Structures are given as structure tokens and as C-alpha cells.
Amino acid sequence: MDMPTQQPEPSEATGNRLRRKVTSLTENLPSNTIGALWILLAAFLFSIMVTLIKLLGKDLTVFQILVIRQGIMLAIVAPKILSGLPTSLATKRPGLQLTRIVVAATAMLCGFTAVIELPLADATAISFSKTFFLTIFAIWLLGETVGVHRWGATIVGFLGVVLMLRPQGDGLIDPFALLAIAGAACAGLVMIVVRLLTRTDPPVTILTYQAFGVGLIMIIPAILTWQPPTLAQWGILLGIGIVSWAAQMANIQAFRAGEATAIASLDYTRLLYATVFGALVFHQWPRVETLVGAAVIIAASIYTVRREAKRGQKLARASDGRGYNS
């Protein structure tokens, strides 16, 4: 007697149909075009994420937002983590894993606080300075040799940051802008640490330690500052977690499909999205200094990437070290 064929679950069948449809639409496209489409999607999703965080930041603390966000993301990736046990917990560099967790938590705390307190476009523009911090950390920690062209681009990029930090009438720099720079610096350092970890530990191990570690760091201050979310706020928190995971997955797919040197510059479309969302949702427009400074940073960053491509080198990039290690 033949056994009945097991039918897939409705959600699984829908997912399979969606994957087949996406594959059929993109299979004839060049790999860099596919990568470009993925990174444009990732930039859009990351912009939605920070918009939702800024929206909630008026009523909930950044600790609370982060711990719930990490919990939702952890729940989504839990099957992959659990299926990898005990390998997913076996690390040859526990000290470096701990460093990565602390720096990543700091990057998110500083970066997301800046997003809540600054105009969205300003916080996004300043975050792009992570590329130049990456250069400095690569020299210091990886022993990379940097030529005059890359040093020049780095200096010009930081001049763009200084332009965005132009003091107002009181002669003081906005402390939240300085916090945004600190977040960018930590994001650049995370990218270097991840590069070091990939030499000894598999990606699932790095993912597991960050997923657990950042949540653990945030849980105590989250409890101490807890404000009961409303039903609508719970919905937004759920959206933040799901969109954050989707953005990371799109970002990973982008750099799997395309060459970093060909698609990296498209990440700067986040500034366009941030400007639009900031104007529509929060009625905030970026200052002229922000736009000019962002243009300088983007131009210097693109020059650096193109220069590295010509030299046949790969820029130290990691899919989870972008933005605020989001």
C-alpha cells in the first residue's frame, strides 16, 4: 500500500513559490545587477528600521527598543543557531568574541540614540563616516599599508564630518552628533573584529555570540527603564525586529551576488530615503551643512572603494558591520 505523500505546509509552499518566482525573474540578470537590487532593498529596509526606532524613541528608551529588537531577531534565527549546536558555540577566540559583542552593543546604543535625537538625515549622513574609521582601524589592527590616495580620501571624508558638525550660535557641537560619530567609529571597529574572527570561527558562531551577547548587555538597563508598550507600540517593535532581520538578509544576499566594489556605493541611497522619511514622518529637513558634508563623505568613500578595486584589494567589509551593526 502506497504511503500518502506528505504535503508541504501552506507557509512553506508559499515560500517555495516566492523563491521560484524571484529566481525566474533574476536568473538572466548579471550578478552585479542582482547584487545592486539586493543592496537597494537593504538600504530601503534599514531606513524603515531607523524610522520606526525614531518613532518609538519618543516614548520608549533605546535600551528597551534594542532588547526587544534583539529578542525578535534571535527568535527568527534560533532554528539556524540550534541546528548548529554545539558548533555554533565553539569559538577559538572567546576574548575577541566578547570584544565584538561589547563594541557592537556600543555602536547600536550610540547610533540609535543619535537617530532618535537628531534629524534622520543628519544621523544617517554622519554614520557614513564609518568607512574612514575602518581605514584607521585596518592600519592599527590589521597592519594594512595605506597609500597617499586612501589617506587623502580619509582626510577629505573627515572634513565632511567636521562640516556637518559645524557649531551653531552658541559655539557648541550637538552632543548627539558626537554620539553618532562614536557609533560610526564602533561600527567600523566591529567590521575589523568580524574580519579577524572569520579567520578562525564560522559565521554561525559569530552570529550566535552577537545575538545572545548584545541582548544580555541590554536586558538589565531595559528592565530598569521599562515602560509598558501599548498594543500599537508592540506592533511597531515587532516590525522593527522583522525589518532588521530582513535588511540584514538582503545585505548578505547583495554581497553574495555582486562585487563589493561594484555595488557598495548604492548603500548611500539610505541618505535619500532618510531625507524623505524625515520630511514626511517627522517634518525634519537636513541642514545645508549636512547635505554638503554628506556629499563630501560619499564622494571620498566612493573614491576609496574604486581605488581599492583598481589595486586589486578588497575593502574590509562585513555584512553585519554596516550602519550600526544593525
Residue 317: its pLDDT value, please? 44
- pTM value is 0.81
The conformation of residue 89, written as its DSSP 8-state character, comes to G
For the segment 11-36, what is each residue's pLDDT rounded down to a tens digit? 445 555 655 665 666 666 778 788 88
Any idea which residue has 548548529 for its cell? 84
Q: CA 14: distance to chain centroid?
A: 29
CA distance 113 to 108: 8
Q: How many residues does the chain have?
A: 326
Render the burial of 157-183: b for 16+ CB within 10 Å, e for the rest.
Answer: bbebbebbbeeeeeeeebebbebbbbb
Mean pLDDT across the chain, nearest whole number?
Answer: 82
Mean of the pLDDT values across residues 51-75?
94
For the segment 64-105, what is each residue's pLDDT rounded down to a tens digit? 999 999 999 889 888 888 887 777 788 889 999 999 999 999
Contact (Cβ atoms closer than 8 angstroms) between residue 80 and residue 275: no
Would the pLDDT of 315 be above 50? no
Residue 309: its pLDDT value, please? 62
Helices (H), 258-313: 260-263, 269-282, 288-310
CA distance 229 to 115: 20
The C-alpha cell of 89 is what? 558555540
Where on the phi/psi map is residue 172: left (φ > 0), alpha (ψ -120 to 50), or beta? beta
Question: What's the pLDDT band for 123 if we cut at 50, 70, 90?
Answer: very high
For the segment 152-185, what is each residue's pLDDT rounded down to a tens digit? 888 888 888 888 876 554 556 788 989 999 999 9
For the segment 222-271, what is each residue's pLDDT rounded down to a tens digit? 999 999 999 999 999 999 999 999 998 888 888 778 776 667 778 888 98
Measured between alpha carbons, how far is residue 284 from residues 50, 118, 139, 280 in Å?
Answer: 14, 9, 38, 8
Higher pLDDT, 321 or 251: 251
CA distance 51 to 66: 14
The type of residue at 123 is A
Ranking 143-147, 190-194, 202-206 by mean pLDDT, the lowest is: 143-147
